[in-house]
Chain A
Amino acid sequence: MNEKQTNKRLNSDLESSNRSNNSNINRSDSSNRNRTNSSNNNTYNKSGSRQESILQAQNLRKRYRGFELSVPSLELPRGFAAALIGENGAGKTTLLNLLAGIRLDYKGEITYFDRQKKGIDGSVQERIGYTGPGSYFLPQWTIRQVEEISELLFANFHRDRFRALCDELGIGTDSRGGMGGFGYATKEVKKLSDGNRMKLMLAAVLARDTELLLLDEPASPLDPLMRDKLCDMIREYLEQGDGERSVFFSTHNIADMESVTDYCLIMEHGCIVEEGFVEDLKEKYILVKGEATDAQRAGEILFSMNRSAYGFEGICLAGNLEKLVGMDVAFETPSLSQICVAVMKANTGMKV
Protein backbone atom coordinates (compact mmCIF):
# COMPACT_ATOMS: atom_id res chain seq x y z
CA MET A 1 0.00 0.00 0.00
CA ASN A 2 1.47 3.35 -0.92
CA GLU A 3 1.70 6.30 1.42
CA LYS A 4 -1.33 8.07 -0.03
CA GLN A 5 -3.53 5.05 0.34
CA THR A 6 -2.31 4.51 3.90
CA ASN A 7 -3.10 8.08 4.85
CA LYS A 8 -6.52 7.86 3.25
CA ARG A 9 -7.34 4.72 5.18
CA LEU A 10 -5.95 6.09 8.40
CA ASN A 11 -7.91 9.29 7.99
CA SER A 12 -11.12 7.36 7.52
CA ASP A 13 -10.24 5.27 10.59
CA LEU A 14 -9.51 8.45 12.43
CA GLU A 15 -12.85 9.98 11.46
CA SER A 16 -14.78 6.96 12.66
CA SER A 17 -12.74 6.89 15.83
CA ASN A 18 -13.37 10.58 16.33
CA ARG A 19 -17.07 9.97 16.13
CA SER A 20 -16.88 7.26 18.73
CA ASN A 21 -14.54 9.33 20.79
CA ASN A 22 -16.87 12.31 20.84
CA SER A 23 -19.40 10.14 22.56
CA ASN A 24 -16.74 9.37 25.13
CA ILE A 25 -16.68 12.99 26.20
CA ASN A 26 -20.04 12.55 27.80
CA ARG A 27 -19.27 9.35 29.61
CA SER A 28 -16.58 10.53 31.92
CA ASP A 29 -17.73 8.28 34.74
CA SER A 30 -16.56 5.27 32.76
CA SER A 31 -12.91 6.10 32.97
CA ASN A 32 -10.52 6.52 35.80
CA ARG A 33 -9.95 10.27 36.10
CA ASN A 34 -7.43 11.96 38.28
CA ARG A 35 -10.12 13.83 40.13
CA THR A 36 -13.25 11.89 40.91
CA ASN A 37 -14.74 13.95 43.68
CA SER A 38 -18.46 14.23 44.19
CA SER A 39 -18.61 17.59 42.48
CA ASN A 40 -17.25 16.15 39.30
CA ASN A 41 -19.85 13.43 39.34
CA ASN A 42 -22.49 16.08 39.76
CA THR A 43 -20.97 18.00 36.91
CA TYR A 44 -21.47 15.07 34.61
CA ASN A 45 -24.89 14.10 35.85
CA LYS A 46 -27.07 14.49 32.78
CA SER A 47 -30.26 14.57 34.75
CA GLY A 48 -29.11 17.71 36.58
CA SER A 49 -29.41 21.20 35.18
CA ARG A 50 -25.67 21.92 35.40
CA GLN A 51 -23.81 22.30 32.15
CA GLU A 52 -21.28 19.55 31.58
CA SER A 53 -18.99 21.86 29.75
CA ILE A 54 -17.54 25.13 30.94
CA LEU A 55 -17.40 26.50 27.44
CA GLN A 56 -19.12 25.63 24.19
CA ALA A 57 -18.36 26.97 20.74
CA GLN A 58 -20.22 26.43 17.50
CA ASN A 59 -19.00 27.03 13.96
CA LEU A 60 -15.98 29.08 14.95
CA ARG A 61 -14.26 30.54 11.92
CA LYS A 62 -11.43 32.98 11.67
CA ARG A 63 -9.53 33.83 8.54
CA TYR A 64 -6.09 35.28 8.13
CA ARG A 65 -4.13 35.57 4.94
CA GLY A 66 -3.36 31.97 4.00
CA PHE A 67 -4.85 30.48 7.15
CA GLU A 68 -8.29 29.56 8.30
CA LEU A 69 -9.38 28.42 11.72
CA SER A 70 -12.46 26.26 11.45
CA VAL A 71 -13.92 24.60 14.51
CA PRO A 72 -17.45 23.31 13.92
CA SER A 73 -17.93 22.34 17.54
CA LEU A 74 -15.92 22.68 20.72
CA GLU A 75 -16.80 21.77 24.28
CA LEU A 76 -14.41 22.04 27.19
CA PRO A 77 -15.24 19.71 30.06
CA ARG A 78 -15.90 21.39 33.38
CA GLY A 79 -13.58 20.59 36.25
CA PHE A 80 -10.67 19.31 34.18
CA ALA A 81 -7.42 20.43 32.60
CA ALA A 82 -7.55 20.31 28.82
CA ALA A 83 -4.46 20.55 26.66
CA LEU A 84 -4.44 22.02 23.18
CA ILE A 85 -1.66 20.45 21.16
CA GLY A 86 -0.55 21.04 17.61
CA GLU A 87 2.22 22.14 15.29
CA ASN A 88 3.43 25.71 15.07
CA GLY A 89 0.86 27.65 13.09
CA ALA A 90 -1.90 25.09 13.68
CA GLY A 91 -4.15 27.80 15.15
CA LYS A 92 -3.76 27.19 18.89
CA THR A 93 -3.07 30.82 19.79
CA THR A 94 -5.83 32.05 17.51
CA LEU A 95 -8.33 29.71 19.15
CA LEU A 96 -7.27 30.74 22.66
CA ASN A 97 -7.43 34.41 21.68
CA LEU A 98 -10.99 34.01 20.44
CA LEU A 99 -12.02 32.19 23.60
CA ALA A 100 -10.36 34.79 25.85
CA GLY A 101 -12.10 37.65 24.06
CA ILE A 102 -8.94 39.40 22.99
CA ARG A 103 -9.81 38.81 19.33
CA LEU A 104 -13.32 39.73 18.35
CA ASP A 105 -13.30 39.41 14.57
CA TYR A 106 -14.53 35.87 14.04
CA LYS A 107 -17.66 34.07 12.99
CA GLY A 108 -19.51 31.62 15.19
CA GLU A 109 -20.83 31.50 18.71
CA ILE A 110 -19.19 30.92 22.05
CA THR A 111 -21.17 30.25 25.22
CA TYR A 112 -19.37 30.55 28.54
CA PHE A 113 -20.22 28.85 31.83
CA ASP A 114 -23.94 28.41 32.46
CA ARG A 115 -24.98 31.57 30.67
CA GLN A 116 -27.83 31.67 28.23
CA LYS A 117 -26.32 34.69 26.54
CA LYS A 118 -23.70 34.00 23.92
CA GLY A 119 -20.46 35.88 23.51
CA ILE A 120 -18.06 37.51 25.91
CA ASP A 121 -18.42 40.60 28.06
CA GLY A 122 -16.79 42.10 31.13
CA SER A 123 -18.58 39.81 33.57
CA VAL A 124 -17.36 36.72 31.68
CA GLN A 125 -13.81 38.06 31.44
CA GLU A 126 -13.87 38.59 35.19
CA ARG A 127 -14.26 34.81 35.56
CA ILE A 128 -11.51 33.95 33.06
CA GLY A 129 -7.78 34.18 33.61
CA TYR A 130 -5.80 34.45 30.39
CA THR A 131 -2.06 34.39 29.82
CA GLY A 132 -0.53 34.78 26.39
CA PRO A 133 2.83 34.96 24.71
CA GLY A 134 4.34 38.13 23.30
CA SER A 135 2.88 41.50 24.18
CA TYR A 136 0.87 40.84 27.27
CA PHE A 137 2.01 43.57 29.65
CA LEU A 138 3.45 46.90 28.50
CA PRO A 139 7.23 46.36 28.59
CA GLN A 140 7.86 49.50 30.63
CA TRP A 141 5.52 48.38 33.43
CA THR A 142 7.20 47.41 36.68
CA ILE A 143 6.04 44.44 38.73
CA ARG A 144 4.49 46.89 41.18
CA GLN A 145 2.55 48.47 38.32
CA VAL A 146 1.32 45.05 37.22
CA GLU A 147 -0.05 44.63 40.73
CA GLU A 148 -1.70 48.06 40.74
CA ILE A 149 -3.15 47.67 37.25
CA SER A 150 -4.47 44.19 38.05
CA GLU A 151 -6.36 45.62 41.03
CA LEU A 152 -7.98 48.14 38.76
CA LEU A 153 -8.75 45.71 35.95
CA PHE A 154 -10.22 42.88 38.00
CA ALA A 155 -12.53 43.12 40.99
CA ASN A 156 -11.51 39.62 42.07
CA PHE A 157 -7.76 40.32 42.21
CA HIS A 158 -6.11 39.77 45.61
CA ARG A 159 -2.97 41.77 46.25
CA ASP A 160 -1.84 39.54 49.13
CA ARG A 161 -2.20 36.42 47.03
CA PHE A 162 -0.28 38.06 44.18
CA ARG A 163 2.58 38.95 46.50
CA ALA A 164 2.59 35.48 47.99
CA LEU A 165 2.71 33.96 44.50
CA CYS A 166 5.50 36.32 43.41
CA ASP A 167 7.37 35.30 46.52
CA GLU A 168 6.70 31.60 45.94
CA LEU A 169 7.80 31.81 42.31
CA GLY A 170 10.83 33.95 43.10
CA ILE A 171 9.81 37.05 41.20
CA GLY A 172 9.04 40.58 42.24
CA THR A 173 10.28 40.31 45.74
CA ASP A 174 13.30 41.96 47.25
CA SER A 175 15.90 40.18 49.35
CA ARG A 176 13.61 40.47 52.39
CA GLY A 177 10.77 38.86 50.49
CA GLY A 178 8.57 41.95 50.37
CA MET A 179 7.42 44.31 47.68
CA GLY A 180 7.17 47.31 49.95
CA GLY A 181 10.51 48.89 49.19
CA PHE A 182 12.32 49.98 46.06
CA GLY A 183 13.56 46.45 45.55
CA TYR A 184 12.93 43.98 42.80
CA ALA A 185 9.29 45.08 42.49
CA THR A 186 10.53 48.09 40.56
CA LYS A 187 12.05 45.84 37.89
CA GLU A 188 10.48 46.44 34.50
CA VAL A 189 8.72 43.68 32.60
CA LYS A 190 11.09 44.10 29.67
CA LYS A 191 14.04 43.33 31.96
CA LEU A 192 12.55 40.04 33.12
CA SER A 193 13.59 36.80 31.45
CA ASP A 194 10.95 34.99 29.39
CA GLY A 195 10.51 32.49 32.20
CA ASN A 196 10.04 35.15 34.86
CA ARG A 197 7.64 37.03 32.60
CA MET A 198 5.54 33.88 32.33
CA LYS A 199 5.71 33.43 36.11
CA LEU A 200 4.48 37.00 36.51
CA MET A 201 1.55 36.32 34.19
CA LEU A 202 0.70 33.19 36.14
CA ALA A 203 0.91 35.08 39.44
CA ALA A 204 -1.40 37.76 38.06
CA VAL A 205 -4.09 35.30 36.93
CA LEU A 206 -3.80 32.95 39.90
CA ALA A 207 -4.19 35.89 42.29
CA ARG A 208 -7.78 36.17 41.05
CA ASP A 209 -10.89 34.13 41.81
CA THR A 210 -11.57 32.69 38.38
CA GLU A 211 -13.38 29.64 37.07
CA LEU A 212 -11.49 29.12 33.85
CA LEU A 213 -7.83 29.56 32.99
CA LEU A 214 -6.85 29.95 29.34
CA LEU A 215 -3.07 29.59 29.20
CA ASP A 216 -1.25 29.97 25.90
CA GLU A 217 2.04 28.05 25.99
CA PRO A 218 2.60 28.45 29.72
CA ALA A 219 5.29 25.76 29.87
CA SER A 220 7.45 26.82 26.93
CA PRO A 221 9.60 29.48 28.60
CA LEU A 222 9.83 27.63 31.91
CA ASP A 223 12.67 25.44 33.15
CA PRO A 224 11.90 21.77 34.01
CA LEU A 225 11.60 22.51 37.72
CA MET A 226 9.15 25.30 37.10
CA ARG A 227 7.17 23.16 34.65
CA ASP A 228 6.70 20.68 37.45
CA LYS A 229 5.64 23.54 39.69
CA LEU A 230 3.23 24.73 36.99
CA CYS A 231 1.58 21.29 36.96
CA ASP A 232 1.24 21.47 40.74
CA MET A 233 -0.30 24.93 40.49
CA ILE A 234 -2.81 23.81 37.87
CA ARG A 235 -3.69 20.76 39.96
CA GLU A 236 -4.11 22.89 43.06
CA TYR A 237 -6.25 25.40 41.15
CA LEU A 238 -8.57 22.62 39.99
CA GLU A 239 -8.75 20.98 43.40
CA GLN A 240 -9.63 24.25 45.12
CA GLY A 241 -12.41 24.75 42.58
CA ASP A 242 -14.13 21.57 43.77
CA GLY A 243 -15.02 20.52 40.24
CA GLU A 244 -16.14 23.98 39.10
CA ARG A 245 -12.82 25.25 37.79
CA SER A 246 -11.29 24.30 34.45
CA VAL A 247 -8.01 24.93 32.71
CA PHE A 248 -7.39 25.04 28.97
CA PHE A 249 -3.76 25.39 27.94
CA SER A 250 -1.79 25.03 24.75
CA THR A 251 1.56 23.33 24.88
CA HIS A 252 4.37 21.77 22.91
CA ASN A 253 5.79 20.25 26.09
CA ILE A 254 3.41 17.31 26.11
CA ALA A 255 5.55 15.01 28.20
CA ASP A 256 6.08 17.61 30.94
CA MET A 257 2.40 18.51 31.07
CA GLU A 258 0.95 15.01 30.73
CA SER A 259 0.65 14.53 34.48
CA VAL A 260 -1.85 17.34 34.68
CA THR A 261 -3.69 16.76 31.40
CA ASP A 262 -7.13 15.18 31.66
CA TYR A 263 -8.47 16.05 28.26
CA CYS A 264 -6.61 16.62 25.04
CA LEU A 265 -7.40 18.40 21.77
CA ILE A 266 -5.05 18.09 18.82
CA MET A 267 -5.11 20.80 16.18
CA GLU A 268 -3.77 20.79 12.65
CA HIS A 269 -4.30 23.38 9.92
CA GLY A 270 -6.87 25.31 11.96
CA CYS A 271 -9.01 22.24 12.69
CA ILE A 272 -9.35 19.98 15.70
CA VAL A 273 -8.40 16.56 14.34
CA GLU A 274 -8.62 14.57 17.55
CA GLU A 275 -9.94 15.10 21.03
CA GLY A 276 -10.85 13.09 24.07
CA PHE A 277 -10.00 12.28 27.65
CA VAL A 278 -6.43 11.04 27.92
CA GLU A 279 -7.55 7.74 29.42
CA ASP A 280 -9.86 7.18 26.44
CA LEU A 281 -7.19 8.11 23.94
CA LYS A 282 -4.87 5.60 25.56
CA GLU A 283 -7.50 2.94 24.99
CA LYS A 284 -8.03 4.04 21.43
CA TYR A 285 -4.36 4.14 20.43
CA ILE A 286 -1.95 1.31 21.28
CA LEU A 287 1.83 1.38 21.13
CA VAL A 288 3.12 -1.56 19.10
CA LYS A 289 6.73 -2.79 19.05
CA GLY A 290 7.99 -5.49 16.74
CA GLU A 291 10.82 -7.11 14.82
CA ALA A 292 12.28 -5.56 11.69
CA THR A 293 11.06 -8.51 9.65
CA ASP A 294 7.44 -7.52 10.28
CA ALA A 295 8.00 -3.82 9.72
CA GLN A 296 6.68 -3.64 6.19
CA ARG A 297 3.44 -5.52 6.91
CA ALA A 298 2.91 -3.63 10.14
CA GLY A 299 3.51 -0.34 8.36
CA GLU A 300 0.36 -0.90 6.33
CA ILE A 301 -1.69 -1.29 9.50
CA LEU A 302 -0.12 1.08 11.98
CA PHE A 303 -1.29 4.65 12.32
CA SER A 304 2.30 5.88 12.43
CA MET A 305 5.58 4.05 12.64
CA ASN A 306 9.29 4.56 13.32
CA ARG A 307 11.68 1.97 11.91
CA SER A 308 15.22 1.08 12.80
CA ALA A 309 17.59 -1.71 11.76
CA TYR A 310 16.45 -3.75 14.78
CA GLY A 311 12.70 -3.29 14.64
CA PHE A 312 9.83 -0.91 14.58
CA GLU A 313 7.66 1.00 16.97
CA GLY A 314 4.36 2.59 16.10
CA ILE A 315 0.89 3.57 17.12
CA CYS A 316 -2.02 1.40 16.12
CA LEU A 317 -5.70 2.13 16.42
CA ALA A 318 -7.19 -0.33 18.90
CA GLY A 319 -9.72 -1.39 16.27
CA ASN A 320 -6.90 -2.55 13.98
CA LEU A 321 -5.07 -4.71 16.48
CA GLU A 322 -6.47 -7.97 15.11
CA LYS A 323 -4.83 -7.19 11.79
CA LEU A 324 -1.48 -7.66 13.51
CA VAL A 325 -2.22 -11.31 14.26
CA GLY A 326 0.64 -13.55 13.20
CA MET A 327 3.30 -10.93 13.78
CA ASP A 328 5.77 -11.02 16.64
CA VAL A 329 4.72 -7.79 18.32
CA ALA A 330 4.37 -6.41 21.83
CA PHE A 331 1.69 -3.99 22.98
CA GLU A 332 2.13 -1.12 25.38
CA THR A 333 0.10 1.82 26.54
CA PRO A 334 1.45 4.86 24.72
CA SER A 335 2.28 8.15 26.37
CA LEU A 336 0.16 11.16 25.48
CA SER A 337 3.16 12.54 23.66
CA GLN A 338 3.40 9.42 21.46
CA ILE A 339 -0.31 9.62 20.63
CA CYS A 340 -0.11 13.32 19.79
CA VAL A 341 2.95 12.92 17.59
CA ALA A 342 1.26 10.05 15.74
CA VAL A 343 -1.91 12.05 15.14
CA MET A 344 0.09 15.12 14.13
CA LYS A 345 2.19 13.04 11.72
CA ALA A 346 -0.95 11.68 10.10
CA ASN A 347 -2.33 15.16 9.56
CA THR A 348 0.67 17.38 9.02
CA GLY A 349 1.47 19.15 5.79
CA MET A 350 5.16 18.74 6.61
CA LYS A 351 7.22 15.98 5.03
CA VAL A 352 8.03 13.84 8.04
Chain B
Amino acid sequence: MDFSIGKRIRSYIVFTSIPYRVAVWLVIPAGLTALGVWGGSRFGDIGLLFALILLEGAEVLSDSWLFGGIQAKDSEKIDYLKSSGRGMAVMGSALVIDLARKLLTDLGVAVLTYCLIGQVKTGLTGIPESVADFVSMGNVFQETGSLAYLVLLFYSVSVLGTFLSRYGSTVYGNMLIGYGAMILAGLAGIFGQMLSGYPSNLIFLLDLLAAAAAVGVSILAVKAAMKKVRGGYYDE
Protein backbone atom coordinates (compact mmCIF):
# COMPACT_ATOMS: atom_id res chain seq x y z
CA MET B 1 0.00 0.00 0.00
CA ASP B 2 1.26 3.46 -0.91
CA PHE B 3 1.62 5.46 2.27
CA SER B 4 2.47 9.16 2.33
CA ILE B 5 5.23 10.26 4.71
CA GLY B 6 2.56 11.92 6.87
CA LYS B 7 0.70 8.63 7.24
CA ARG B 8 3.95 6.80 7.93
CA ILE B 9 4.75 9.19 10.76
CA ARG B 10 1.20 8.89 12.05
CA SER B 11 1.52 5.11 11.97
CA TYR B 12 4.40 5.43 14.39
CA ILE B 13 2.71 8.03 16.55
CA VAL B 14 -0.42 5.93 17.04
CA PHE B 15 1.71 3.11 18.45
CA THR B 16 3.01 5.44 21.15
CA SER B 17 1.10 6.24 24.31
CA ILE B 18 1.15 9.68 25.88
CA PRO B 19 3.49 8.61 28.76
CA TYR B 20 5.83 7.12 26.15
CA ARG B 21 5.85 10.35 24.16
CA VAL B 22 6.56 12.45 27.22
CA ALA B 23 9.33 10.12 28.41
CA VAL B 24 11.06 9.10 25.19
CA TRP B 25 10.60 12.20 23.09
CA LEU B 26 11.16 14.78 25.81
CA VAL B 27 12.23 13.87 29.32
CA ILE B 28 14.93 11.29 28.53
CA PRO B 29 16.73 13.25 25.75
CA ALA B 30 16.52 16.53 27.71
CA GLY B 31 17.62 14.94 30.97
CA LEU B 32 20.53 13.08 29.41
CA THR B 33 21.65 16.16 27.49
CA ALA B 34 21.72 18.10 30.76
CA LEU B 35 23.59 15.26 32.46
CA GLY B 36 26.06 15.04 29.58
CA VAL B 37 26.72 18.77 29.68
CA TRP B 38 27.21 18.69 33.44
CA GLY B 39 29.60 15.73 33.20
CA GLY B 40 31.33 17.13 30.14
CA SER B 41 32.04 20.45 31.78
CA ARG B 42 33.92 18.62 34.55
CA PHE B 43 35.42 15.56 32.89
CA GLY B 44 35.56 16.52 29.20
CA ASP B 45 33.96 14.63 26.35
CA ILE B 46 33.52 11.53 28.49
CA GLY B 47 30.33 13.31 29.62
CA LEU B 48 29.07 13.05 26.06
CA LEU B 49 29.86 9.35 25.96
CA PHE B 50 28.13 8.87 29.29
CA ALA B 51 24.96 10.59 28.04
CA LEU B 52 24.90 8.44 24.90
CA ILE B 53 25.49 5.23 26.87
CA LEU B 54 22.53 6.01 29.14
CA LEU B 55 20.40 7.00 26.18
CA GLU B 56 21.07 3.65 24.60
CA GLY B 57 20.00 1.77 27.72
CA ALA B 58 16.85 3.89 27.90
CA GLU B 59 16.03 3.14 24.25
CA VAL B 60 16.27 -0.62 24.81
CA LEU B 61 14.14 -0.47 27.94
CA SER B 62 11.51 1.89 26.56
CA ASP B 63 10.96 -0.32 23.51
CA SER B 64 8.99 -2.68 25.73
CA TRP B 65 6.28 0.04 25.80
CA LEU B 66 6.20 0.09 22.04
CA PHE B 67 6.99 -3.23 20.40
CA GLY B 68 7.89 -5.27 23.48
CA GLY B 69 8.05 -9.02 22.85
CA ILE B 70 6.88 -8.66 19.26
CA GLN B 71 9.34 -11.28 18.04
CA ALA B 72 8.88 -13.61 21.00
CA LYS B 73 7.74 -17.18 20.39
CA ASP B 74 4.45 -16.55 22.16
CA SER B 75 4.12 -13.05 20.76
CA GLU B 76 0.84 -11.23 20.37
CA LYS B 77 -0.78 -11.92 17.00
CA ILE B 78 -2.35 -8.43 16.81
CA ASP B 79 -5.36 -9.73 14.89
CA TYR B 80 -6.80 -6.22 14.74
CA LEU B 81 -3.97 -5.15 12.43
CA LYS B 82 -4.45 -8.24 10.31
CA SER B 83 -8.16 -7.58 9.95
CA SER B 84 -7.30 -4.44 7.96
CA GLY B 85 -5.78 -4.26 4.50
CA ARG B 86 -3.57 -1.46 5.78
CA GLY B 87 -2.39 -3.28 8.89
CA MET B 88 0.96 -4.46 7.61
CA ALA B 89 1.75 -1.07 6.03
CA VAL B 90 0.95 0.65 9.34
CA MET B 91 3.13 -1.79 11.25
CA GLY B 92 6.05 -1.54 8.81
CA SER B 93 5.88 2.25 8.81
CA ALA B 94 5.80 2.37 12.60
CA LEU B 95 8.93 0.21 12.81
CA VAL B 96 10.85 2.28 10.25
CA ILE B 97 9.85 5.66 11.68
CA ASP B 98 10.80 4.44 15.16
CA LEU B 99 14.32 3.76 13.86
CA ALA B 100 14.45 7.21 12.26
CA ARG B 101 13.36 8.69 15.59
CA LYS B 102 16.09 6.76 17.39
CA LEU B 103 18.74 8.08 14.97
CA LEU B 104 17.46 11.63 15.29
CA THR B 105 17.43 11.39 19.08
CA ASP B 106 21.01 10.09 19.12
CA LEU B 107 22.05 12.82 16.74
CA GLY B 108 20.21 15.53 18.65
CA VAL B 109 21.54 14.51 22.06
CA ALA B 110 25.10 14.10 20.74
CA VAL B 111 25.27 17.41 18.85
CA LEU B 112 23.49 19.41 21.54
CA THR B 113 25.55 17.94 24.35
CA TYR B 114 28.76 18.43 22.42
CA CYS B 115 28.00 22.04 21.56
CA LEU B 116 26.84 22.86 25.08
CA ILE B 117 29.90 21.22 26.65
CA GLY B 118 32.02 23.49 24.48
CA GLN B 119 30.00 26.51 25.55
CA VAL B 120 30.22 25.67 29.24
CA LYS B 121 33.92 24.90 29.12
CA THR B 122 34.70 28.10 27.29
CA GLY B 123 32.79 29.95 29.94
CA LEU B 124 32.57 33.67 30.24
CA THR B 125 36.29 34.23 29.71
CA GLY B 126 36.17 32.64 26.27
CA ILE B 127 39.22 30.54 27.11
CA PRO B 128 38.68 26.76 27.12
CA GLU B 129 39.46 25.03 30.37
CA SER B 130 41.90 22.16 30.29
CA VAL B 131 39.98 18.88 30.46
CA ALA B 132 40.56 15.43 29.00
CA ASP B 133 39.02 15.57 25.52
CA PHE B 134 39.03 13.11 22.69
CA VAL B 135 36.25 14.34 20.44
CA SER B 136 36.93 18.04 20.40
CA MET B 137 40.41 17.70 18.95
CA GLY B 138 41.67 17.93 15.39
CA ASN B 139 40.13 20.02 12.64
CA VAL B 140 36.44 20.66 12.19
CA PHE B 141 36.03 17.72 9.75
CA GLN B 142 37.73 15.32 12.13
CA GLU B 143 35.56 16.59 14.98
CA THR B 144 32.44 16.03 12.83
CA GLY B 145 33.71 12.60 11.80
CA SER B 146 34.29 11.69 15.41
CA LEU B 147 30.85 12.85 16.46
CA ALA B 148 29.25 10.98 13.51
CA TYR B 149 31.08 7.83 14.55
CA LEU B 150 29.65 8.07 18.07
CA VAL B 151 26.13 8.76 16.81
CA LEU B 152 26.16 5.88 14.29
CA LEU B 153 27.85 3.50 16.71
CA PHE B 154 25.40 4.17 19.54
CA TYR B 155 22.46 4.03 17.14
CA SER B 156 23.63 0.66 15.77
CA VAL B 157 24.15 -0.91 19.17
CA SER B 158 20.88 0.54 20.44
CA VAL B 159 18.98 -0.96 17.49
CA LEU B 160 20.79 -4.26 17.96
CA GLY B 161 19.81 -4.25 21.64
CA THR B 162 16.22 -3.39 20.74
CA PHE B 163 16.16 -6.17 18.14
CA LEU B 164 17.38 -8.72 20.69
CA SER B 165 15.07 -7.49 23.44
CA ARG B 166 12.00 -8.01 21.22
CA TYR B 167 12.55 -11.76 21.44
CA GLY B 168 11.77 -11.58 25.15
CA SER B 169 8.82 -10.10 26.88
CA THR B 170 10.14 -9.34 30.35
CA VAL B 171 11.46 -6.02 31.60
CA TYR B 172 14.33 -7.83 33.34
CA GLY B 173 15.42 -9.41 30.08
CA ASN B 174 15.35 -6.00 28.42
CA MET B 175 17.42 -4.54 31.28
CA LEU B 176 20.04 -7.23 30.86
CA ILE B 177 20.26 -6.63 27.13
CA GLY B 178 20.28 -2.87 27.73
CA TYR B 179 23.24 -3.14 30.13
CA GLY B 180 25.13 -5.35 27.67
CA ALA B 181 24.51 -2.89 24.84
CA MET B 182 25.65 0.02 27.03
CA ILE B 183 28.93 -1.70 27.90
CA LEU B 184 29.56 -2.74 24.28
CA ALA B 185 28.87 0.70 22.87
CA GLY B 186 30.84 2.44 25.63
CA LEU B 187 33.94 0.34 24.96
CA ALA B 188 33.58 0.66 21.19
CA GLY B 189 33.12 4.41 21.58
CA ILE B 190 36.34 4.85 23.55
CA PHE B 191 38.53 2.27 21.82
CA GLY B 192 37.29 3.16 18.35
CA GLN B 193 38.60 6.67 18.83
CA MET B 194 41.85 5.37 20.29
CA LEU B 195 42.41 2.85 17.50
CA SER B 196 41.95 5.49 14.87
CA GLY B 197 44.92 7.29 16.42
CA TYR B 198 42.79 10.33 16.90
CA PRO B 199 43.02 13.01 15.64
CA SER B 200 43.39 11.46 12.20
CA ASN B 201 41.41 10.91 9.03
CA LEU B 202 41.12 7.25 9.91
CA ILE B 203 37.98 8.24 11.82
CA PHE B 204 36.15 8.45 8.46
CA LEU B 205 36.84 4.77 7.87
CA LEU B 206 35.21 4.09 11.24
CA ASP B 207 32.30 6.28 10.13
CA LEU B 208 31.81 4.10 7.08
CA LEU B 209 31.93 0.92 9.15
CA ALA B 210 29.48 2.35 11.69
CA ALA B 211 27.15 3.52 8.88
CA ALA B 212 27.21 0.04 7.32
CA ALA B 213 26.45 -1.48 10.72
CA ALA B 214 23.61 1.01 11.23
CA VAL B 215 22.01 0.14 7.89
CA GLY B 216 22.50 -3.58 8.50
CA VAL B 217 20.93 -3.70 11.96
CA SER B 218 18.10 -1.41 10.86
CA ILE B 219 17.14 -3.77 8.04
CA LEU B 220 17.52 -6.75 10.35
CA ALA B 221 15.30 -5.19 13.05
CA VAL B 222 12.48 -4.23 10.67
CA LYS B 223 12.58 -7.49 8.68
CA ALA B 224 12.61 -9.70 11.78
CA ALA B 225 9.64 -7.90 13.34
CA MET B 226 7.64 -7.90 10.10
CA LYS B 227 8.43 -11.56 9.47
CA LYS B 228 7.02 -12.43 12.87
CA VAL B 229 3.90 -10.29 12.43
CA ARG B 230 3.27 -11.57 8.88
CA GLY B 231 3.93 -15.11 10.15
CA GLY B 232 0.68 -14.76 12.11
CA TYR B 233 -1.14 -15.19 8.80
CA TYR B 234 0.44 -18.62 8.45
CA ASP B 235 1.50 -21.51 10.66
CA GLU B 236 4.76 -19.83 11.69
Contacts and interface: CB of A to CB of B under 8 A. Distances in A.
Interface string B172-200: 00000000000000000000000000000
B15 A128 contact: no
Contacts of A139: 76
B85 A123 contact: yes
A122 B86 contact: yes
B227 interface: no
A201 B78 CA distance: 12
Interface in B60-83: 64-66, 68, 76-83
A154 B85 CA distance: 8
A343 B10 CA distance: 50
Most chain B beta carbons < 10 A, residue from A136, A153, A186: A153
Nearest to B66: A140
B15 A137 contact: no
A153 B87 contact: yes
Interface string A130-149: 10101111111110111011
Give the bracket for the number of chain A residues in contact with chain B: 35 or more
B17 interface: yes
B10 A135 contact: no
Contact of A130 (B10, B14, B79, B235): B79
Contacts of A146: 80
Contacts of B235: 64, 105
Given A148-B14, A153-B87, A104 B233 contact: yes
B50 to A, nearest CB: 30
A141 B80 CA distance: 12
A202 to B, nearest CB: 12
A121 interface: yes
Contacts of A134: 77, 79
A136 B10 contact: no
Q: How large is the interface on B (under 10, 10 to 19, 20 to 34, 35 or more residues)?
A: 20 to 34
A225 interface: no
Interface in B1-39: 1, 7, 10-11, 13-19
B80 A125 contact: no
A123 B1 CA distance: 12
Contacts of B13: 148
A217 B76 CA distance: 19
A125 B233 contact: no
Contact of A136 (B80, B87, B234): B80
B90 interface: yes
A122 B15 contact: no
A33 B84 CA distance: 33
A203 to B, nearest CB: 12
Looking at A138, A145, A151, the one whose CB has the most chain B CB atoms below 10 A away is A138
Given A134-B77, A135-B77, 14 more contacts: A102-B82, A105-B234, A105-B235, A125-B83, A130-B79, A138-B15, A138-B76, A140-B17, A142-B17, A145-B17, A148-B13, A152-B11, A154-B84, A186-B17
Interface of B: 1, 7, 10-11, 13-19, 64-66, 68, 76-87, 90, 232-235
12 contacts: A103-B234, A126-B85, A130-B79, A130-B83, A135-B78, A136-B79, A148-B14, A149-B14, A152-B90, A153-B90, A186-B17, A186-B18
